[in-house]
Structure 1
């Protein structure tokens, strides 16, 4: 206190506080140093929360001058256009919650939702009904119904997200701050309130156009969204799609006639309090979000409706390969962007509800499809052949294989809708089990009587089915490292080199299996598409392996620890209990030899030719519009992804075409940007490199300033 009393000043201002130091000294006079007083129910967290640290984001008690707001009156009359603006902003905050923000920073900032009991029409005094241009029913009937619809939509969304398919705090925030989302209110009741509000707008005559129609459309959009989220797509697909179509029509009309813009400090803005977390049961720091432009909100709702439509199509699709292809496209393509957590969770629930696949099939059906879509024959046919030709003393050990596949396939399909890092982790953890199934099937096939069977019989290729799925998992793990920007300069050459070996193993499997797959079957068409695509990818990867070698330090003592850390999934102890060695496992010694071979035979290498070959193969796919046998309703999107690969080839067309060009090639001209392509870099010109350097230097100077 000496510092303050010497200046005749106390903390917080000269005359605004009273000095209570003596009071605390008297109260603690009988206490020894380091003594503490404990109270029942008073925890360390309570004690820490009592500190006033003066940080606006953490100190909920600190109210700055620009944060002061007039008392909120929920019955303050509103113009119809002001109500439109409030409803539009509530949609914006709802989409921000679906984007992963906290409820207390988004939806809960709408103050009317905390005052629903104050705007109950049955308890409003009649003397309040005297605003002809601003009828009170706009609040007690229309706005109240809109808020109830918003809360119920959040409740349904929370219930879906709370199933655990999507990770809380990674993809969404579950903290409800003890605020009611109308959990106990039936959806039918809220729908009836929305209908009642629409009827009042249409029949009362108190609100004229264009705002009458504008308000009706917003209420009808809310009703359609609520009914959509409350409909089980597996049971009522046609009703589900009807609600989607209706929502799209309302959204299109609303986007064409948006509400007016209001400056901060006006009446509509006071309907939202970005600092509402001060009054809620939460320990999350206050964060004021920048509300996106209204057109961006309509775009976000449109993307969610697109996601609903995709779910409705998938619910009617019984091909595992199609489900996997769609999941891959969502991760690989930037347009459309990765679906919102709610849609990704709904997609997983649609595939597996905890009991049945697609709400009607058992695990046995899933395994049957697994082999049919890859090899062209069902698992039942494979089992029948095995039982007929089994030479062992007991029955063929198929039960263990089936049990492992039950554990593998469903989580694998659902993992296609995890967030990219968690998806990558899931794939890495599953590799040992995929190899175990391959090993067990191989042992069984080797124990069969093959005397009168043709040399290329389908039973010989049965083990290659789980092997192909395992190889595709490894391929995705490698490529996701580029998309997630995990690789250092030392790691990129190995990743490209290793991917070529994975693809080579896949192509060998396809070459062996292709002659046994039924002609003109979707499985054969898919195999032909994959062979062409993988061959093109292999050419691109081999070219990039060569041109990225200069980025390596060739300090093997430094590279070796990084290698074992990055590819630790390949050295798990589970492999020690499996008889067969894993196919196409990463080997640093083989890579070191490959680097040496490149340096010895530079005269024979031509990255430009490899890119030209890839461009030719991909062009063939694009012009023939061959999208494989399992693309289904996503043929156009798969074709669009193929065009993205063609664009990637165009951006690499100036790679070195001779040994002399390789010697003088500047590998720093390669720029990786997942927004342009998830796996492959862009080859910058020297001028572009200089401009990139100037821009980076300018950013550094601005940071220093």
Structure 2
């Protein structure tokens, strides 16, 4: 490329503001203000001429203007970057906090706080929701370390004398509700931080160095809430019964809600939850919604200037009460629903529950999905009382029904390295440790939001593919140890390969989920639907063939000439119920895969017909080709050993099959005038 920097330098030299006008050319001047004699030259044309002398990609930069100066120039006096900038007429001095005198106003503030809390659950930051309440700010401003210090620091007024109903309304009722709400936020934050979540994808855990009453126990706050309820119910509160009912319902809900959020897994297993009580109280809150009077002045964006944040103040987020009521009601119902996993009824049922629950629309809240992760596996215990190895091996049994000798408890008793039982136990122990990590990760991944689920599955299948190869080697060694007899299947002599078959089945399912989620998340364009449904059908057909092979090997017992048959423990022998369960599981999985395959076939024909009718058109894509787009869609599967990725030419020929005849029985109706 030719170097035009010389022409640029000449043109740039003419841009000095002190330059005198060139003879024969009129220079445009612009007066900024009638009160200022200063005038400026219009250098637009000269600047354009100078830019024409630049090469493509050539950068003009003053060596003295560093990145620090550039960022400083962006931040200073920029309302989007400068957190200390005050607009004209804006006052940074906090106004005097309004002190309500009516119980209806307290009800309104409580409902506004509930809306702010649910806005936080819905993805907004605390700085935009709960922390914008001036009463919450007043409680937390002195960083209280005890319940006695967690009180409102308000100036005295004529309407709020100590002992008066208005004073008690504020300092007993509203204070107890605010303290309980802050503690609820702390418990939710701790729960979400304890599990695998992704910051700011669907939840913001940042507290801006504000302590959410960490040093105050839940029991103390519950006593405070009970005292507030007793005061509202006493004769000292001169309010109508409907007002008392509304206040008591909100205080009682906050107490029950905090109690449920504070339970650990052991308490959930040993005690019955009281989410039903929360749902009942929510109905009362909904009925008394119209009694409240909103007080917008107790929420201010100016509070954000006091927080330890690197971003400027952002708008207050407070969803309507009706929407907040729906969110909190769904949260309580979902939290009650996930406790069903503690009633364990088989590994297959457990996986089905996870898949169906997390696929709900709208998706369960981040807190509920985090709690589901904790219930499944926490402190090296699954479902509060089981070992993860038990669920893992039962999952293998339900699908593949491996040889009885692999699960004999007597294998653990052997300590002689040359003993067959010792060698079997070592290999099964390796399988539990290796596959157990992948198994737990899969369950935790299912609890993520749908976009993150698809992204993580693209990485997980690589791990499961490597696990399959490793398990094939272990299967080969176990065949020799138990003297497994080969079985004739499809005119070929083959072995069960139980462990690797189970891994391969799960890998295929994850590959199917990736494509299903591509449709759900609208990753694919309409003109790609026929091709992606074909690929989904390809995975389903592969899994069907694999399930047929598994079903062929699901049989009772092992070969009679096994060297361990004489000393086999009765506990390890598959019962008639175990055999029936395995056969039922395989048959159901076969039926499900076959139904999905037929539905995919129908969708392929549908979109093929729509494409040939011109109802689904390919949009102009000047920067991509069909080959590039196909490689992009197949990128998650390119490193997978089995099944192989179909070459693009074969894929194109199969999807655009001209042998598919499309008949339009409705054509006479379309052609009517």
Give TM-score scaled by structure 2 length: 0.74
Partner of 1:180: 211
User: Which of 530, 541, 561 matches 2:600?
Assistant: 541
What is the CA-CA distance between 1:131 and the residue it aligns to? 9.4
Q: CA deviation at 1:109?
A: 1.3
For residues 590-630 of structure 1, the C-alpha deviation after alignment (integer angstroms, 9 at most, x for no partner) is 3134135x21x224xxxxxxxxxxxxxxxxxxxxxxxxxxx
Which of 194, 200, 206 is the matching residue for 2:238? Answer: 206
Residue 615 of structure 1 is matched in structure 2 by none
Give 3-state SS (helix, strand or coil) of 1:491's partner: helix
* Deviation, structure 1 residue 224: 0.6
The more displaced of 441-450 and 321-330 is 441-450
2:112 matched residue in structure 1: 89
Of residues 481, 484, 495, the one that matches 2:532 is 495
Could you tell me how far 1:565 is from its partner in structure 2?
2.1
Structure 1 residue 524: deviation in Å?
A: 3.6
Q: 2: distance between equivalents of 1:119 and 1:429?
A: 47
1:409-443: CA deviation from partner (whole Å, max 9, x where unpaired): 00101111111121112211121222233333334
Deviation at 1:190, TM superposition (A): 1.3
Which structure 2 residues correspond to residues 355-366 of structure 1 after superposition, within 5 A? 355-366=380-391
CA distance in 2 between partners of 1:161 and 1:52 (Å): 37
Compute the displacement of 1:310 (Å).
Answer: 2.0
Q: Residue 635 of structure 2 corresponds to which residue in structure 1?
A: 568
Q: Following the alignment from structure 1 to structure 2, what is the Cα–Cα distance between the partners of residues 542 and 89?
A: 51
Give the C-alpha shift of residue 193 in structure 1. 1.2
Aligned with 1:160 (options 191, 194, 203): 191
Looking at structure 2, the residues matched to 76 and 378 of structure 1 have their Cα atoms a distance apart, in angstroms, of 74
Counterpart pick for 1:602 among 660, 664, 667: 660
Is 1:310 the counterpart of 2:370? The answer is no
Residue-pair matches, total: 568
| Inter-partner Cα distance in structure 1 for 2:320 and 2:160 | 34
Distance 1:590 1:198, change over 3 A: same
2:86 touches 2:92 (CA, 8 Å); kept in 1?
A: no
Change in Cα spacing, 1:261 to 1:128, as seen in structure 2 (3 Å) is: closer
After TM superposition, the structure 1 stretch with the greater mean CA deviation from structure 2, 195-204 or 546-555, is 546-555
| Aligned counterparts of 2:618 and 2:36: Cα–Cα separation in 1 | 62
Specify which of 286, 297, 304 is matched with residue 277 of structure 1.
304
RMSD of aligned alpha carbons: 4.2
Which of 391, 407, 411 is the aligned partner of 2:437?
A: 407
Instruction: Indicate yes or no: 2:179 matched with 1:148.
Output: yes
Q: Residue 621 of structure 1 corresponds to which residue in structure 2?
A: none
Q: Does 1:101 align with 2:101?
A: no
CA–CA separation in structure 2 for the residues paired with 1:49 and 1:133: 53
Aligned to 2:548: 511
The residue number in structure 1 matching 2:259 is 227
String of CA shifts for 1:20-78, please: whole Å, max 9, x gaps.
Answer: xxxxxxxxxxxxx99899xxxxx8899468612245x966533476x879964446233
With over 3 angstroms needed to count, the CA separation of the structure-2 counterparts of 1:399 and 1:229, relative to structure 1, is same
Q: Look up the match of 1:429.
A: 459
Give the equivalent residue in structure 1 for 2:169: 138
The structure 2 residue matched to 1:419, chosen from 439, 443, 449, is: 449
Query: Which position in structure 1 is the counterpart of 2:664?
Result: 661
| Structure 1 position 588 matched with structure 2 position 648 | yes
- Offset of 1:255 from its aligned partner? 1.1
Deviations 1:505-536 (A, max 9, x none): 22223323335266684444343333233222
- Aligned residues of 1:353 and 1:359 also touching (Cα < 8 A): yes
CA gap of 1:437–1:536, structure 2 versus 1, over 3 A, is same
Shift of 1:225: 0.7
Would the alpha carbon gap of residues 488 and 381 (structure 1) be closer, same or farther in structure 2, given more than 3 Å must change?
Answer: same
Three-state SS of the structure 2 residue aligned to 1:284 is coil
Shift of 1:93: 0.7
* Residues 456-491 of structure 1: per-residue CA shift (max 9 Å, x gap): 799444432111111110110011001111113453
Does residue 464 (structure 1) correspond to residue 489 (structure 2)? The answer is no
Aligned equivalents of 1:168, 1:347: Cα separation in 2:
18
After the TM superposition, which of the residue ranges 181-190 and 361-370 deviates more from structure 2?
Answer: 361-370
Q: Tell me which residue corresponds to 1:474.
A: 511
Given the alignment of the two structures, is residue 247 of structure 1 paired with residue 250 of structure 2, yes or no?
no
CA distance 1:509–1:128, shift in 2 (3 Å): same
User: Is the 2:527–2:617 contact (alpha carbons within 8 Å) kept by the matching residues of 1?
Assistant: yes
Structure 1 unaligned runs (5+)?
A: 11-32, 38-42, 576-580, 604-658, 666-684, 688-705
Residues 1:240 and 1:74: Cα distance change in structure 2 (over 3 Å): farther
Query: Residues 234 and 358 of structure 1 are in contact (CA less than 8 Å); yes or no, is this contact kept in structure 2?
Result: no
Counterparts of 1:93 and 1:412, CA distance in 2: 33
Does the 8 Å CA contact 2:92/2:302 hold for their aligned counterparts? no
The answer to whether the 8 Å contact 1:234/1:350 transfers is no
The alpha-carbon distance between structure 1 residues 365 and 283, as it changes in their structure 2 partners (threshold 3 A), is same
Contact 1:368 1:378 in 2 (8 A): no
Equivalent pair of 1:121/1:141 in contact (CA under 8 Å): no
Contact 1:75 1:136 in 2 (8 A): no
Contact 1:233 1:312 survives alignment (8 Å): no
User: Normalised by the size of structure 1, how large is the TM-score?
Assistant: 0.71
Q: Structure 1 46/512 Cα, relative in aligned 2: closer, same or farther at 3 Å? A: closer
Alpha-carbon distance in 2 for matches of 1:287, 1:440: 52
Q: Distance in 1 between matches of 2:297 and 2:153?
A: 25
Distance 1:561 1:75, change over 3 A: closer
Contact 2:358 2:364 in 1 (8 A): no
Is the CA contact 1:149–1:223 (under 8 Å) kept in the aligned structure 2? yes
8 Å CA contact 2:132–2:316 kept in 1: the answer is no
1:223-268 deviation per Cα after TM superposition (whole angstroms, max 9, x unaligned): 11111111113433364512x12211111111122144647xxxx2
CA distance in 1, matches of 2:113, 2:328: 12
Contact 1:507-1:534 at 8 Å conserved across structures:
yes
How far 1:540 moved relative to its partner?
1.9
Q: Return 5+ residue gaps in structure 2 as ranges.
A: 1-28, 38-61, 143-148, 556-575
TM superposition shift of 1:213: 1.6
Q: 1:461 to 1:686 in 2, by over 3 A?
A: farther
Contact preservation (8 Å) 1:510, 1:531:
yes
Preserved CA contact (<8 Å) 2:243 2:291: no
